[in-house]
Amino acid sequence: MVTTTFDAGIGVAAALHLAAAVPAVEALPDPAHGLATADHLEADIVVDPPRPSDGTLALPEQPGLGVDLDTMRLGRAATGPWIEVGG
């Protein structure tokens, strides 16, 4: 599984669940890339995001996606700051 953007912890958790649910992913010699990008973000919207250990990411075991959202950070991320990109 390859992601194409920096993923916050919630995106990483969702990608981990998808990878675990697709049998063909296990058959690949090197099945996952790009899932450990959250450390490049200033702040994550997840309280305790999945972190790599020994080159792997463990599937969260809690209900749902297995992560808890930080509502304060989520509120800040949802409201700004606005950045104009050329066009």
Q: What is the DSSP string of the chain?
A: -B--S---HHHHHHHHHHHHH-HHHHHSSS--BS---GGGSS--SBSS----BTTB-PPP-SSTTS--B-HHHHHHHHH--------
Residue 72 lies in a domain: yes
Instruction: Please state, in angstroms and rounded to a whole number, the distance separating the CA atoms of residues 40 and 37.
Output: 6
State residue 57's pLDDT score.
81
Report pTM: 0.68
Task: Tell whether 86 is covered by a domain.
Answer: no
pLDDT at 62: 92
Kindly indicate the confidence band of residue 84, based on its pLDDT and cuts at 50, 70 and 90: confident
In this structure, is residue 4 part of a structural domain? no
Q: Containing domain of residue 23, as a range?
A: 9-79
Domains in the chain: how many in total? 1
Task: Answer yes or no: is 15 within a domain.
Answer: yes
pLDDT tens digit string along 3-59? Answer: 556 678 888 888 888 878 877 766 666 655 555 566 677 788 889 888 888 877 888
pLDDT at 45: 86
Instruction: Measure the CA–CA gap between 55 and 67, rounded to whole angstroms.
Output: 20
